[in-house]
Amino acid sequence: MGTVGNEIGHFSFEELEVWQRAVLFAEQVITSSESWQTTGKHYRLLEQLEAAATSVAMNIAEGKG
- Phi, psi (rounded to 5 degrees) for 39: -80, 165
Give 55's DSSP letter: H
pLDDT score recorded for residue 8: 58
Residue by residue, pLDDT tens for the chain (65 residues) are 344 555 556 778 999 999 999 999 999 999 999 888 887 888 888 999 999 999 999 999 999 77
d(CA 63, CA 56): 11
Asked if 56 and 35 count as a contact pair (C-beta separation under 8 A), the reply is no
